[in-house]
Amino acid sequence: MSNLVSIKEFEEHAYRVLPRNTLDYYRSGAGQQLTLKQNREAFSRYKIRPRFLRNVEHRDLSTTVLGERISMPIGISPTAMQRMAHPDGECANVQAAQALGTIFTLSTLSNSSIEEVAQAAPHAIKWYQLYIYKDREVTKQLVERAERAGFKALVLTVDAPVFGIRLADVKNKFSLPPHLSLANFQGGKSTDINRKSEEGSGLNTYSMSLFDPTLEWRDIHWLKSITRLPIVLKGILTAEDALLGAEAGVAAILVSNHGARQVDGTPASVEALPEIVKAVGDRVEVYMDGGITDGTDVFKALGLGAKMVFVGRPALWGLAHSGEEGVKKVMNILKTEFDIALGLSGCTKISDIKPDMVVHESFYSKI
């Protein structure tokens, strides 16, 4: 592992070792994958305007998110079915987050249950990613379990009333390996996701059977009525929806295009970030995920107004390499790169990153 020094190298290693069915599920985006490509490339269109001759000897990467102090503004996004990458799956991932002092978000579609993850890392700051299902009782039970297990927030994914078309999954007729299951549904409302679908992806068949395409903003109020946990809206890409979320009383907005897995042709997350930050101001906290592969990406996102960022695929690549240790290495690479970017830009803490330090490349064509 000492020979792997970048997120790209961990990704390349995962491409070599993961089975095709698993690799395609993790790496693919929707449609022709134009947005998937843009999620990364859009960062290159933003430039850092560093300031010099400032004392940057002592730097502090910590921040406070939803009232919790964390070691760095880089957390772990929800990604489904992590035991396809490593036998310890989500348990290894949350243990890495605990060791690093940052936030881990558990996917509803996990191979490790809410209770297993809580037991694996009792001191980690854990958030639970949620869909509102057609059967509201299923949703309510998941929320109650997350509360009992000590999770600190609900991350409501709102950009998936149906699942996007992921051509690789359709071609592979994606299904879970037979020894795995969706652990949060064992003994209750289970699923046929393990069964291959003649029409394509088993995951799409599953989502169509349980996901609710009738969801509206009033369902946010229903969710607030059944939980005391703060709600983070994940999947917001417009100022209009961010404002509706703030008016609905959510605690935070996670700017995200679902890893470019829903609608091909949406903006990169970092492109959508500025209008959302401008719209909601300090009414709610704003985070971002999608396309982050370097610590300079973290700096740019914070300069554009995000309070913190989350990464999904990079943690999976670390997991595929060596479980908990691989995730820790990946996250520490991002942390170190961000720390160096912070210092080389004339900053010693996150609040030093000012809006005029990150600009779109068009800024320079106007000079």
HEC per residue, the chain: CCCCCCHHHHHHHHHHHCCHHHHHHHHCCCCCCHHHHHHHHHHHCEEECCCCCCCCCCCECCEEECCEEECCCEEECCCCCHHHCCCCHHHHHHHHHHHHCCEEEECCCCCCCHHHHHHHCCCCEEEEEECCECCHHHHHHHHHHHHHCCCCEEEEECCCCCCCCCHHHHHHCCCCCCCCCCHHHCCCCCCCCCCCECCECHHHHHHHHHECCCCCCHHHHHHHHHCCCCEEEEEECCHHHHHHHHHCCCCEEEECCHHHCCCCCCCCHHHHHHHHHHHHCCCCEEEEECCCCCHHHHHHHHHCCCCEEEECHHHHHHHHHHHHHHHHHHHHHHHHHHHHHHHHCCCCEHHHCCHHHEEECHHHHCC
- Is residue 13 part of the annotated active site? The answer reads no
From the list 13, 179, 221, 258, the catalytic residue is: 258
Longest dimension (CA), the chain: 64
List, by residue number, the catalytic residues. 258
